[in-house]
Each structure stands twice: as structure tokens, then as C-alpha cells.
Amino acid sequence: MAMILACLHGLMMSPIEYLKQKNPPTDSWQVFDYIFPFYTSVFLFSTVYFLLYCLILRRRACVERNLIIPSIGYGILWTT
């Protein structure tokens, strides 16, 4: 499972690299046009997925209460 996750993490940047190669940059800061929306959408959809998981499973959700705040903090740090 860790190998699959590592492969998926490696492939996450592929669309950005494809866009950068297809449209050659005219300035050195063009990469930031892609990075911020990408990481923001990753954070947004993982938050939505987590909230839907909690709403659907309600009392049966397997969520450690002491891990919620650190995982949100990690997500914020990962997107910045």
C-alpha cells in the first residue's frame, strides 16, 4: 500500500509538468500559476471527503479525536 501511495504522490505533479512542457514559460515564475490552485484543490477536496465520511458514517466513523487537529494542521502546512 505504501508503494502505491508513493507512486500516486509521484504522479500528482504530472499534469503540471505536462502543462509546463506544452506551453513553454515566458517567465521564471509561471510555475506558481499552477502550484497554488493544485495544492489548494488537494486540501479542499480532502477536507470535503473527510466531512462527507463523518456525515455518512456518523457514529460508526473510525476517527481518532486526538488526530483531527494535527491532520488539519498537516494539510495546511502541506498546501503552503
Structure confidence by residue, pLDDT tens digits, 27-69: 666 667 777 787 788 788 888 988 898 888 887 878 788 888 8
Asked if the model's pLDDT at residue 79 lies above 70, the reply is no
Closest CA to 12 of 38, 49, 47: 38
Give Cβ neighbours of residue 41 (< 8 Å, ≥ 6 apart): none
Asked whether residue 19 carries a pLDDT value surpassing 80, the answer given is no
Cell matching residue 7: 507512486
Instruction: Report the distance separating Cα 39 and Cα 78, nearest Å.
Output: 8
Residue 57 belongs to what H/E stretch?
Answer: helix 31-57
- For residue 31, what are the contacts with CB-CB under 8 A and spacing of at least 6? 16, 20, 25
pTM (2 d.p.) = 0.53
Query: What pLDDT score was predicted for residue 74?
Result: 80
User: pLDDT value at position 63?
Assistant: 75
At residue 29, the pLDDT reads 63
